[in-house]
Amino acid sequence: MAVTVGIDRISFYTPPFYLPMATLAKARGIDPDKLHIGLGQRDMAVLPPDESVVTMAAHAAEAILDDDNKAQIDTVLFATESGVDQSKAAGIFVHHLLDLPKNCRVLELKQACYSATAAIQMAVALIHQQPDRKILVIASDVARYGLQSAGEPSQGCGSVALLLSANPAILAIEPYSGYYTQDVMDFWRPNYRDEALVEGKYSCQIYLQALAESWDHYCAQSKRQWRDHDIFLYHTPFPRLAEKAHQALCKHVGLTSSSSEETHAGLDLALQYSRTIGNCYTGSLYLSLASLLDHQSADLSGQRVGLYSYGSGCVAEFFSGILQPGYQAHLLTAHHRAILKDRKALSINEYEQFYRFHSQQHDNVDTPHISHGRYRFAGVDDHKPQYQRQKSPSGVKVVSASAPGKLILSGEHAVVHGAPALVIAVERYTKATVSSASDQKLSFHLPDVGHIGSETFHKLHRLKTRLQEAHGKFRRGERGISDIIQKPFELLQYTAANALDKFATPDDQGFHIHTESNLPIGCGMGSSAASIISANYAIAHYLGKTIDDKTQYQLGLRAENLQHGYSSGIDLHVAIHGGCHLFQNGQSTVQNMPADTNFYIVNTGAPDANTGQCVTHSRQCFQQQPDLLEKFVEVTQSIAYALQSANQAQLIASVRLNHRLLVEIGVVPAPIQQFIKQIEEVGGAAKVCGAGSVKGEKAGIVWLIGDDQALQTVAHQHGFSIETLHSDYDGVKLI
Ligand code: HMG
C-alpha cells in the first residue's frame, strides 16, 4: 500500500503585541475603512525587541513537540526571508533551544514567501525515501516595510511550525503540483536594507497572474479540475488579496459568482488569523490552514484542499492535500486562541519604538525584557546573537503598581516657598511593572519617554552618582536645572538605582521595569511623580519589602529634585495618598472631596520650559515682591472654601484672581492669557494648573470653570478639546 505523507501537527506563534489598524489609521491620517475593508485587516502583530524569527520559531515548534516525536526528527527546514545571519541557518539556534537530536540536518530556505512550500515538498520527498523519519518545517518571518509607507499596514509577524511524517494526522500532501517562475521586481530586499522594497499594486497583479499560471500547470499535471476540490487556501499578504485571488480563480475557470459562494465561506474562516496577525510571509499560507481548521466546527475529513503559494520575485506553486480522518483531535485550537487573547495593543509610539529598535541592531546590544515567553533574544555579544531559554515563563515574578496624577487647583509656585497649595488626585495613572529577568541587568521599557534599553547595576550606580553630583552643583549655583537630567528616561533609571540601593538588592538578580501612563508628560499633571512612586512601590513589593509612606516620599523627593531643582513634594504626596489636600511645607491637611468631582480641562501642550526653569524664574518674583506670597495664600483658601461649599460665584471669582497672580509671576504664555480672557468673557474662569511656562506658547493643563456649551465654543476656537477628569480617593496601590 502506498504511504501517505504530509502534515502531522501544526501550530503557530505570534508575539504578545499588536497594533490595531484603527490606531495606525488615526496616526497616519488614513480612513480606517481603507485598512479594515480595503485590505481586510483589523490588527497587525508587532515584533518586540527581545524576539526574532528564531524565538518565534522555537515558540511555535515547542507546541507540537514531545519527547517521542522529537527523537524521530532528523531534518529541520527553516523557511524565512528574515534570516538572522548571512551564513548560519537560523534553524540551528532553534535546534539548540529545543534540544533536538544531534544526528539531524538543519538548513535555511529562501525564496520570499514561497520557501515554506519548497520545504514541505522537500520534506515529503525525504519521508517517502525513509518513512520512519519526521521532519520539522518552520516558516518564520517579520514583514517590514518603511514607517509611513504604503506597505506599512500590510506588515505583521509570526511563525508556523509543521511536523511532517508518514501517515500524517492532519493533511496528506498529494503528488502533482503546478509551478510558475518569472523574473520580476515586485518585492525585494537588498542585503543593505532591513525593510522590503515593493511595487505594491504591481505585486498584486503578478500574484494574480502567477495564480492562473500555476493553477493551469497544476491541472495539466494532476488531471484534476476545480470541482475536485472542496476548499481553496491562498498566500495571504493581506486578507482582501486572498478574497480577490479566489474571485480571480473562479473567473479563470469560468465559474459564475453564485457557484463560488460555497467555498468562500471556508475562505473567510481561513482568513481569521491573518486579519489580526497580518502578513507573516512564509508562514502566511499555513496560518490560513490553521485558521480554517481551528474555526471550522464541521468535520472536513476527506476533503481536498487546494493551496496556492506565492513568493515575490517570483515563484508560485499550486498543490493539494486531503484532510485526514480524526484530524480535529490533533489541533491546538485552545493554545492558538490563548496566544491571541493574551496580546497587548500597542500605542503608535510603542509600535514605532519597537520598529526602530530592530533597525538599530548592532554589536554588543542587550535587549530589554519585554515579552515573557520561554525563548528570548537577549542581544548581540561579540557579534554573536544570544538566544535564551527562560526557566519557566509561568514562574516569572511580576508585580505592578499604579499611582495617580494630580491637578493643583491653587497655590502652585507659592507652595515651593512655604504657602499652602490645594491639590487633588485624578483618575489618570502611571503603572509600573517589575518582573524578573534571567541576566544580571536592569532592563527598561519606558514607552512614554521613548526608551528601550538595559544597563548593568554598575552603570546605573555611576549614573546615580553623576546625577547627584550635578544636583549638588545646581544647588551651589554652578549649573542650570536643565543640565542635570539629560535624557528623560534617566529619571526612572535613577529611581530604580536608588530603590535597589535602599533595599540592598543583590546585584546577581535581573529585573525588567516597564511603565505605561495615560497622564500627559510634562503638562503639570504629575506624571513624573506618578512614575517615580509607582516604580518605587512596585520594586519594593517585588523584593518583598514593605515601604512606608515616609520612605516613599523621601526616595521620591530625591528623584524629583533632580528634575525640578527644589521640589515642593506636592505631586509625590498626592501620588502616594490620593484624595484632596491642602499641602504646605511637606505636610498636608486632608480636605473633603469637593461636591462636584468632575473637572474640565484642556491640554494646551507640553510647555517649552520645564518645571525647574519655571520655578527658578518665579523664585525671583517672590523675592522681589514679598506680598505676592500672602496673596497666593488668600486665594488658595478662598478656592478651597468655594469648592467645599459648592459656591460657584466665589469659585469663579477666586480662580480669576489666581490666574492674575500666575500672570504676574510670568508663567502664563500670551496665547494662553488670550484664551483665558475669552473664557472670562463668556462668564467662566480658567487657570493654568501646574508650573505653566516662562517661554513659548503652551502652558500644559488649564482648568476651566463655567457653562459647558460656552466653554466648548471658546475651546474649539483655540483648537483645544475639553476633557473631563474625575477625582480619585486612592493613592499608589498594587494592581
Ligand atoms: P495602497 O496604496 O494603500 O492601496 O496599497 P490602494 O490605494 O489601492 O487601496 C487599497 C484598497 O483599499 C483598494 O481596494 C481601495 O479601493 C480600497 P481595491 O481597489 O484594490 O479593491 N480603499 C478603501 N476601501 C474602503 N474604504 C475606503 C478606502 N480607500 C481605499 N475609504 C498595498 C495597498 C497592498 C499595495 C500596499 O499595502 C502594499 O504595497 N503592501 C505590500 C505589498 C503586498 O502586500 N503585495 C501583495 C502581493 S505580493 C505578495 O503577496 C508577496 C509578499 O507576501 C512578499 C513575499 O513574497 O515575500 C508581499
- Cβ contact 411:589 at 8 Å: no
* Residue 113 confidence (pLDDT): 98
Per DSSP, which regions of 200-262 are E strands? 231-234
More confident residue, 606 or 224: 224
Closest listed residue to residue 627, CA positions, set 664, 590, 589: 664
Count of residues making up the chain: 735
- Cβ of 491 below 6 Å from ligand 1: no
- Cβ of 493 below 6 Å from ligand 1: no
Is 630 a known active-site residue?
A: no
Catalytic residue among 235, 471, 512, 577: 235
Is 243 a known active-site residue?
A: no
Spacing, Cα 183 to ligand 1 middle (Å): 22
Mean pLDDT (whole number) for 370-383: 88
Q: Identify the residue whose C-alpha is closest to ligand 1 atom 36.
A: 151
Cell of 160: 508556523
pLDDT tens digit string along 571-591? 999 999 999 999 888 888 888
Q: Is the dihedral of CA 86, 91, 94, 96 positive or negative?
A: negative
Strands 510-517 and 421-437: antiparallel
The stretches of 527-669 forming alpha helices (DSSP H) are 527-542, 549-564, 570-577, 611-624, 627-644, 648-664
* Residue 706 confidence (pLDDT): 92
- Cβ of 338 below 6 Å from ligand 1: no
How far, in Å, CA of 268 to CA of 259, rounded?
16
- Cβ of 168 below 6 Å from ligand 1: no
The stretches of 476-610 forming alpha helices (DSSP H) are 490-502, 527-542, 549-564, 570-577
Query: How many Cα atoms are found within 13 Å in the side-chain-facing hemisphere of 603?
Result: 13
- Cβ of 24 below 6 Å from ligand 1: no
pLDDT band at 557 (very low <50, low <70, confident <90, very high): very high
Calculate the average pLDDT of the chain. Answer: 92
How far, in Å, CA of 346 to CA of 444, rounded?
16
* Residue 262 confidence (pLDDT): 54
How far, in Å, CA of 214 to CA of 114, rounded?
13
pTM: 0.74
How far, in Å, CA of 78 to CA of 139, rounded?
6
3-class state of residue 195 by DSSP: coil
Strand order across the 17-20 sheet: 43-45, 17-20, 344-345
Would you give the distance in Å from CA 341 to the centre of its chain?
Answer: 15
Strands 187-188 and 178-181: unpaired
pLDDT band at 509 (very low <50, low <70, confident <90, very high): confident
At 264, which amino acid appears? H
- Cβ of 154 below 6 Å from ligand 1: yes
Spacing, Cα 39 to ligand 1 middle (Å): 6
The residue behind cell 524521530 is 72
How far, in Å, CA of 442 to CA of 499, rounded?
12
3-class state of residue 452 by DSSP: strand
- Cβ contact 379:52 at 8 Å: no
C-alpha distance across the termini of the chain, in Å: 62
Q: What are phi and psi of 61, to 5 degrees?
A: -70, -35
Tell which one of 80, 115, 188, 203 to mutate to probe ligand 1, the residue whose CB is within 8 A of the most ligand atoms: 203
* Residue 394 confidence (pLDDT): 53
Is 577 a known active-site residue?
A: no
